[in-house]
């Protein structure tokens, strides 16, 4: 199959491209390098099957350009990862998130419409659920995700609505090929490629596990816990962390099963939560390093508990995580970051 991966020079998109190439697909990566890095593309050029990789630097907001790339490469399906994903940043710059995540996704969907793309897998987020009452956790897909508490969640939920409305309209048109889509709501992606080739090259880091690992490596003075008075067992936020390889495996399982005219939505996580204090303890345990920890005020837009019930995708597709240990997730991040002190630009050891 010929598959476009938007945001394929980024953290998750590059891991997805590697897996798709390994499975024998032709992969077309489109990325504007706003957060993606050329080093990820260069790393992908070294894997078996890289002769089936096409790389195009382009903004998905360029609808006409995207139509051209889709048509020139005879793309059959799209995995859409391109987006900003810093929920705290979204609180302070909401319009940037609506433009990049929502308006650009609209242009991408319009390009798919013109090019008659029939399958679309969308990278969404647990942030669409907002603040969920404790008695409804772990979260199932049928929880009403109408109340995100940050612009990031709103920007992604708007795309979910666009896909649903567009699919309904297009599938009523008997003169067009049907359109099937899947929405995959992530519950905190973490870790790095277990082969050691790909990682998360970002400065500054926005995800909690790389931030804690940086402290363990001595690359930052310490870690600040933003909020210690949440209604959780130890007072810190609780989240569900899924290894990036498992996340990508779920995308492949969904794409392989998705048929035109189908609508699917799945939660992707391990099905249990870890608190910030538990992450800190696990990082100390895995790395053998100690580092200062300070306590700060709550950050805007952070719910107390977010972890999922992933049983629906297990029931329908037989998918489940291989990595269910937080220590193993942290270990893969530690090893890649230790070997790449300046990201893809450098290697140690």
Q: Is the peptide bond before 204 cis (omega within 30 degrees of 0)?
A: yes
- Tell me the helices (H) and strands (E) count for the chain, helix number first: 12, 15
Q: Burial-class residue 33 by CB neighbours within 10 Å (0-12, 13-18, 19+).
A: middle
From 129, 152, 186, 230, active-site residue: 152
| Cβ contact 150:127 at 8 Å | yes
Is there a catalytic annotation at residue 344?
no
Query: How many other C-beta atoms lie within 10 A of the C-beta of residue 105?
Result: 24
Q: Is 233 helix (H, G, I), strand (E, B) or coil?
A: coil
Q: What is the DSSP letter of 136?
A: G
CA distance 184 to 191: 18
| Cβ-Cβ contacts under 8 Å for 242 (sequence gap 6 or more) | 186, 187, 188, 189, 190, 268, 269, 270, 321
| Six-digit token string for 83 | 């987006």
CA distance 317 to 110: 29
* Angle between helix 244-257 and 11-22 (nearest 10): 60
The 3 state secondary structure assigned to 58-118 is CCCCCHHHHHHHHHHCCCCEEEECCCCCCHHHHHHCHHHHHHHHHHHHHHHHHHHHHCCCC
**Residue labelled with tokens 């048509």:** 71
Q: Is 41 helix (H, G, I), strand (E, B) or coil?
A: helix
**Residue labelled with tokens 């390994």:** 22
**Catalytic positions:** 152
């Amino acid at each position: 199959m010929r598959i476009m991966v938007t945001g394929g020079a980024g953290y998750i998109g590059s891991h997805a491209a590697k897996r798709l190439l390994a499975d024998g697909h032709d992969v077309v990566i489109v990325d504007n390098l706003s957060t993606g890095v050329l080093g990820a593309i260069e790393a992908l050029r070294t894997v078996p099957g890289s002769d089936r990789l096409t790389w195009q630097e382009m903004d998905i907001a360029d609808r006409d350009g995207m139509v051209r790339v889709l048509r020139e490469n005879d793309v059959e399906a799209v995995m859409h990862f391109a987006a900003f994903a810093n929920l705290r940043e979204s609180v302070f710059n909401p319009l940037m998130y609506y433009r990049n995540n929502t308006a650009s996704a609209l242009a991408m969907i319009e390009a798919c419409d013109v090019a008659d793309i029939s399958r679309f897998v969308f990278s969404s987020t647990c942030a669409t659920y907002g603040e969920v009452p404790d008695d409804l956790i772990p979260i199932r897909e049928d929880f009403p995700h109408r109340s995100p508490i940050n612009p990031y969640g709103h920007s992604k939920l708007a795309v979910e609505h666009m896909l649903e409305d567009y699919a309904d309209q297009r599938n009523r048109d008997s003169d067009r090929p049907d359109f099937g889509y899947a929405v995959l709501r992530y519950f905190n992606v973490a870790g790095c490629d277990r082969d050691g080739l790909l990682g998360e090259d970002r400065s500054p880091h926005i995800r909690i596990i790389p931030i804690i690992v940086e402290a363990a490596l001595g690359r930052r003075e310490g870690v600040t816990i933003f909020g210690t008075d949440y209604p959780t067992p130890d007072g810190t936020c609780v989240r569900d962390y899924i290894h990036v390889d498992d996340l990508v495996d779920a995308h492949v399982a969904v794409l392989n099963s998705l048929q035109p005219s189908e609508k699917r939505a799945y939660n992707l996580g391990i099905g249990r939560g870890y608190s910030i204090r538990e992450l800190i303890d696990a990082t100390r345990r895995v790395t053998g390093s100690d580092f200062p920890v300070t306590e700060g005020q709550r950050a805007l837009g952070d719910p107390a508990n977010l972890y999922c019930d992933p049983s629906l995708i297990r029931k329908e597709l037989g998918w489940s995580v291989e990595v269910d240990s937080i220590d193993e997730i942290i270990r893969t991040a530690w090893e890649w970051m230790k070997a790449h002190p300046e990201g893809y630009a450098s290697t140690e050891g």
